[in-house]
Amino acid sequence: MEHRTSAVYKLVPSEIRSLTSEHALGNLRPRQGYKVKLIRDWRPDFAFSHVFHFHLEERGRMFSFEEFRDWSSLDEFRPTLYTPAREKITEAVKNGCSEQDARNSMRWRIGIAYYSFVREMYVVSRFRELGLDARFHPLADALFRTDTWIGSTSVALYIKNGVFRDGDAGRKPPAEDVVGGEESGLRFIQLQIPTQRIWGKAHFPDDRAVEACARKLHMLTAQR
């Protein structure tokens, strides 16, 4: 709770888009990545948002997937993700799946989370480039489903997915359900990204969608 964000406010959207990185999902396909449900639905105690963001703060810039993998395997950082991931793989094997299937699903789980983080950081940096005082904190992201906020307006970013999120349905509850809706004194807006078919790259939202959301946020901010 005492953590302060800094590096995220120095990110440049064009640099995030041009980031060169190893394919975070390897050569896997969805049927392999989602095969082991125990890992598909796994949420580590130290949330992905925290792990990725702390690495961002240490680096001072957006990082590639291989940089993150090397960093997370260092002794001092292993307890946050590396060790829990290996323990979950062992648990999945004990429950009857093959070690290769478990490893594939874990690679997919972490790779998807990485791409989600890159996408969210892009949108935050783009909002700021468009003149919005967009804020981010891993606690708000992990606990309150708020990918960014401007003043008292919470913004949720998601790719339409029937399993994990599709409007009001799916695994992930919207921020308003977590923090109490309009009664909380906050307002809520969602930025939906149409599913893309670009394999091996982060799925960034079309700039027109981001700009339209930014205009709406500007109007909401002006009303308060």
Write down the pTM of the prediction.
Answer: 0.88
Q: Of the candidates 54, 44, 106, which has an alpha carbon nearest to the alpha carbon of residue 79?
A: 44
Cα–Cα distance for residue pair 194/174, rounded to 1 Å = 18
Tokens of 166: 């599709």
Instruction: Give the distance, in angstroms, between the CA of residue 94 and the centroid of all CA atoms in the same chain.
Output: 29
Q: Where are the beta strands (DSSP E) in the chain?
A: 148-150, 153-159, 187-193
| Partner residues linked to 192 by β-bridges | 158
Residues 6+ apart with CB under 8 A from 177: none
Strands 153-159 and 148-150: antiparallel
Residue by residue, pLDDT tens for the chain (224 residues) are: 778 899 999 999 999 999 988 889 988 999 999 999 999 999 999 999 999 999 999 999 999 999 999 999 999 999 999 999 999 999 999 999 999 999 999 999 999 999 989 999 999 999 999 999 999 999 999 888 899 999 889 888 876 654 444 344 344 677 778 877 667 788 888 887 776 666 666 778 888 888 988 998 888 877 76
